[in-house]
Structure 1
């Protein structure tokens, strides 16, 4: 009897996994204008390669309800329209979380920009559970929902959906993120207005900077009012110079070059990757962190062709273009950075914060002694919900500019 029961339970679990997918449930219709997507991984895999010419950026293609939303909230995966690197329309995946208690009026929107997750489709944040062995996947999500915020985020182009993954291409990722904010405007039950705050960690920190640069031009109907930065991977060239001195970031270097190469048939990866670096590209499709595991311990110089990085070369010009996120919209920023970060050195974040200050932006800079790239995240998660409340209330933001060097 126990063996039969155990077999039945295992079969039920397997059936549930095969039909619903990780973190998803059989969705209930949200109305005649919102299409329920299929359950399981085909929700992402069966997305059409072509977008109708009359589609709008931020238009929802289909949705899939999640089963792991925090208490007193509901969550959905969403396929929606955004721009590809070349400006053509494409589909991207994302997610949205909405409090279930009555809102008593218009809700406020927070836009999350995720960190490096890998480049294989199964690594996409919306395909994964909200809780992992490392803690909450979206920092501060529970507290944000308790405060009544709607939280939305993008997987960015090509991560989760068909097509090449656009990794650390700041302007492209910012457009995907802004289009996630757009789909939140029309999502049933969200009831959000045009004002929003945004925050991001690492890769998502770069997205947030570019988002603040592009919002008024790309999505003028929206209104960004505050930006949270958690150890942002801000500038390609600064990161590249740092990578070439380490034995721990070779995988990031290879991923960045592969991500910037998307849509650029005029450039050759062999101009910035050595033979050893080119051989490592196969790890991008074999697992979320296989590339990091395969390269850690070896000097990044083993994988780089430094000739292609010299000033005036096509690749160096592209790196410089991807670093041109200034000026940003003049809204308050808050930075969280550990001084022991070996992925994004503290000096790089101080420099970005100082540059924003020089542009007249109000910057609150919070540096934590002894913390690195991962354990700075709980510090930010504890502080950001209250900081976002202050932005929507119109409170005067604190400036640390006089002491940032």
Structure 2
């Protein structure tokens, strides 16, 4: 679990998916509400799912596979994506196993960063095991552009609609694959970037028109990114410990580099030099090939090398981001609109967990998200650590609440 600023966000970019079609089996004319196109993609599962063996789940899973499926992508064209699918060993209930989506946190934008290509951490393993034991199918999408078969699409990092369609279309494909063994009920659970993605799934759930969406559990969901970036810069400016200062700044820059890389999916003309000063723009380019942890280390090395030659007192002169990069039109649209969840009313139940010690998604940011959603008349239960024996940071808000997540799932979507 990462605890530094902006370390574990998770997927997106900046374009409205209001057009589709072109013979892809997906049409804006099949829009149940708010212009959301119904997923009527034919044969959504691409070939036979392959065995997932990066983590051994055989003690609790009847099947663990990587499923390749078709989805509507950020550029309003049909693309292929991947997702993990785990089935229980429990007997199939009369109406089938309900489906729980697990939406993961930030890993990067390169294919090698896809969760389906790596082992699951112990906390995710524990949660999935408990859900399987309780009788739920678990579907864990990689998100658009992460691990996709053609290897030519960058993950549109933190784009709410892209994340949402990655989820809705994975559920449609998983039910197509499982047939009557899966019920028509589903819900989403996610942490950090995945919390944002889960909130997006609630907003765009009607895309999976033949299925019944039951609710959302979001832990420390990413939102109000410009506010987080500004708060991070302010915190770094006040930091007197050089190592901590460099760690914070490198985390911010790695996050900004992922945003830039993700934006280059729908906006390939966007250049890293527009966002970063030279020579830091050359480090930022590595966002397209390196996962988050390594990328952050590269930014740290750049600052360490600068300090070694220029001295620590000059760290504030290190060439990082361009002064007004957040005003670039595509970046501005992304920060204010395309990355922001809960901009419209969500009618299904939403549960949000947020810790007061979270430096990655500060509580003040989620407070703003909650207040805005309440004004939209969205039904939200907002749970903080005010009465908890142990205060939550960005990692423990998830790790310490796994039993509560399971209880929430059973309450919102009981087995029938």
TM-score by structure 1 length?
0.76
- Residue 175 (structure 1) aligned to one of 159, 162, 165: 165
Query: Which runs of no fewer than 5 residues in structure 2 stay unpaired?
Result: 1-21, 27-40, 237-247, 304-314
1:364 paired to 2:377: no
- Alignment counterpart, residue 320 of structure 1, candidates 327, 331, 336: 336
Give the CA deviation at 1:64.
0.6
Q: 1:344 aligns with which of 361, 364, 367?
A: 361
CA offsets per residue over residues 108-145 of structure 1, 9 Å max, x none? 11111110112332221011123x4xx23356111111
- Within the candidate set 104, 112, 118, 1:128 is matched to 118
| Alignment deviations for residues 343-375 of structure 1 (CA, whole Å, 9 cap, x no partner) | 111111122122222222222222225321112
- Contact 1:338 1:372 (8 Å CA) reproduced: yes
Aligned twin of 1:295: 299
Moved more, 73-82 or 328-337: 328-337
C-alpha change, 1:139 and 1:208, in structure 2 (3 Å) is farther
How far is the alpha carbon of 1:181 from its aligned partner? 0.8
Q: 1:286 to 1:376 in 2, by over 3 A?
A: same
Q: Which moved more, 1:325-334 or 1:226-235?
A: 325-334
**Are the equivalent residues in 2 in contact too, given 1:209–1:328 (CA < 8 A)?**
no
1:57 shift after superposition: 6.8
Aligned pair 1:61/2:46, yes or no?
Answer: yes
Query: How far is 1:212 from its partner?
Result: 1.6
Q: Single out whichever of 298-307 and 337-346 deviates more from structure 2.
A: 298-307
Provide closer, same or farther for how the CA distance between residues 191 and 328 of structure 1 changes in structure 2, counting only shifts above 3 A. Answer: farther
**For residues 53 and 363 of structure 1, what CA distance do their matches in structure 2 show?**
36
Q: How many correspondences in the alignment?
A: 339
Query: Which of 71, 87, 97 is equivalent to 2:76?
Result: 87
Q: Which residue of 2 aligns with 1:233?
A: 222
Q: 1:200 to 1:185 in 2, by over 3 A?
A: same
Within 1, Cα distance between the matches of 2:165 and 2:276? 28
1:274 and 1:177 map into 2 onto residues whose CA distance is: 36
C-alpha distance in 1 between matches for 2:58 and 2:376: 39
Corresponding residue for 1:381? 402
8 Å contact from structure 1 (residues 272, 308) kept in 2: yes
Distance 2:179 2:212 in 1: 20
In the alignment, the residues of structure 2 paired with residue 178 and residue 273 of structure 1 have an alpha-carbon distance, to the nearest angstrom, of 35
For residue 253 of structure 1, report the CA deviation from its aligned partner. 1.8
Q: Partner residue of 2:154?
A: 164
Whether the aligned pair in 2 keeps the contact of 1:58 and 1:182 (CA below 8 Å) is no
Q: Counterparts of 1:54 and 1:360 in 2: how far apart (Å)?
A: 34
Is 1:114 matched with 2:101? no
> Match for 1:77 among 49, 55, 66?
66
Instruction: Name the structure 2 match of 1:197.
Output: 187
Question: 2:146 aligns to what SS in structure 1?
Answer: coil
Alignment of 1:19-58 (within 5 A): 53=24, 56=41
Alignment equivalent of 1:262, drawn from 265, 282, 287: 265
**Cα distance, 1:219–1:307 mapped onto 2, change above 3 Å:** same
**1:148 is aligned to 2:152:** no
Is 2:108–2:290's contact at 8 Å kept on the other side of the alignment?
no
- What corresponds to 1:210 in structure 2? 200
- Does the 8 A contact of 2:346 with 2:379 survive in 1? no
Aligned equivalents of 2:126, 2:221: Cα separation in 1? 14
Runs of 5+ unmatched residues, structure 1: 1-50, 395-405
Answer whether contact 1:267 1:315 (CA < 8 A) is retained.
no
Structure 1 window deviating more from structure 2 (85-94 vs 137-146): it is 137-146
Question: 2:199 & 2:377 partners in 1: Cα distance?
Answer: 15
